[in-house]
Amino acid sequence: MIYLDNGATSFPKPHSVYSEMMKAMKTCGGNPGRGSNTLARRASDTIYKLRECAAEMFGAESENVILTYNATHALNLAIKGLARDGCHILMSDIEHNSVRRPVASLCRQRGCTYDVYPSCGGDAGKIIENLQKLVKDNTKLLVMCHTSNIANLTLPAYEIGKFCRKRGIAYVIDASQSAGHIPVDLKHFGADAVCIPGHKGLYGPAGTGLLIIRDGQMIEGLMEGGSGVNSIEDTMPDFYPDRLEAGTLSAPLAAGLCRGISWVRCVGIQNIHAHECELSGLLLDYLCDMDGIRVYNGGAGQLTSTVLFNVSAIPSVRVGELLDNSGICVRCGLHCSPLAHKTLKTGDGGAVRVSFGAFNTVDHVRRLVDEVHYIKKYEN
């Protein structure tokens, strides 16, 4: 089996992630943050280790690392927490539904409005120029997809952050496809919140995510419940991370994610990125040489772990099915990003997405290209 769907969730995970999770299941059986018995203590230590590890990687203090179920959960917390009733919101034209839907929900429920700013192939000057035209007096929030989940496009996080700081606009970064691939730093980008999945570029287990929030930026949570502290009060604590983490956290998941982050840092983000780009570049070269293949280019000259294409007029889902029959896993359709597909003009049927990870090889690219050749020849 060749797995080329790392943009959805990375697979396989480093061996140490599996073993660490199993170890945590067997030895950290207590409830973290609830009591001080030995097993609860071990579970708490495991959780804290993850916070420290993530804080170091993403430029934050450990108490500002909020553990979430996934990036969508983190984005909902950040977007709904930082928006103000009736405010105007800006989001890019490559946003995932994990941004588009919470923003639309704010418009329905809290009288907000929004505009979509063009990603301009990642050109910082042009993006800022457009933002200047779209910004309003009541613009209170800007959301930016750092790296597209469907195409080779990374947006200028630092420059957009500068724009937001100058105007007092809260700035949320969706780092779903950038964390673990390229440097992501809350402080450097001047962001108020960075939302990260644990199970993609960080090689942790599914069911993990992180919200990294700026010091002093206090937001409301989506849930209330037990926190292990301030139990007499009927409100959630007024400090992070406890304010946003109602209920029991999972020590085994935290152990797995912590080990995933450690693995990424040990291998080196730049090495992983270089490897993924080498594979993407190779695939792009092959595809561009083939007749009848339409490749969708997100950012001119940019390479990421993702390549998006269609094979002649064959529906993308059919291509995906045929590749799956040959033991190759890719993702087809709209990838929960109809806005981004509209921007790239892929059409109603979407496209085929190949997303590489650290464990893919040049041989995987060649096998894929052989299959695409075969599909093109016999399915047309």
Is residue 41 involved in binding other proteins (CB under 8 A)?
yes
Total Cβ atoms within 10 A of residue 229: 11
> Of residues 2, 25, 42, 62, which one binds other proteins by CB under 8 A?
62
The CB-side HSE value for 234 (13 A sphere, CA atoms) comes to: 0
Residue 116 gets which letter from DSSP?
Answer: E
Number of residues in contact with other proteins under rule CB under 8 A: 24
> What minimum distance in Å lies between the beta carbon of 63 and other proteins?
5
The dihedral sign for the CA sequence 207, 280, 97, 121: positive
Which of residues 77 and 339 has its CB atom nearest to other proteins in the complex?
77
Name residues contacting other proteins, limited to 151-190 (CB under 8 A). Answer: none
Is residue 36 involved in binding other proteins (CB under 8 A)?
yes
> What minimum distance in Å lies between the beta carbon of 230 and other proteins?
4
Enumerate residues 6+ apart whose C-beta is below 8 A from 141.
79, 82, 83, 84, 87, 89, 90, 169, 170, 171, 172
The dihedral sign for the CA sequence 261, 266, 268, 273: negative
Beta carbons of 78 and 219 less than 8 angstroms apart = yes
Q: Give dist(CA 118, CA 5) in Å, integer.
A: 26
Q: Hunting for tokens 């409100």 — which residue is that? A: 235
> What minimum distance in Å lies between the beta carbon of 248 and other proteins?
12
Q: Which residues pair with 294 in a beta bridge?
A: 310
> What minimum distance in Å lies between the beta carbon of 50 and other proteins?
11
**336: helix, strand or coil:** coil
Is residue 48 involved in binding other proteins (CB under 8 A)?
yes
Is residue 227 involved in binding other proteins (CB under 8 A)?
yes
Is residue 11 involved in binding other proteins (CB under 8 A)?
no
Which of residues 87 and 236 has its CB atom nearest to other proteins in the complex?
236
Q: Give dist(CA 312, CA 51) in Å, integer.
A: 47
Question: Exposed, middle or buried: residue 61 (CB in 10 Å: 0-12, 13-18, 19+)?
Answer: middle
Total Cβ atoms within 10 A of residue 86: 12
Binding characters for other proteins, 63-102, by CB under 8 A (x = yes): x---------------------------------------
Is residue 231 involved in binding other proteins (CB under 8 A)?
yes
> Of residues 233, 321, 324, 370, which one binds other proteins by CB under 8 A?
233
Which of residues 49 and 101 has its CB atom nearest to other proteins in the complex?
49
Is residue 229 involved in binding other proteins (CB under 8 A)?
yes
Binding characters for other proteins, 236-275, by CB under 8 A (x = yes): -x-x-xx---------------------------------
Sites of contact with other proteins (CB under 8 A): 32-33, 35-36, 41, 44-45, 47-48, 51-52, 62-63, 227-233, 237, 239, 241-242
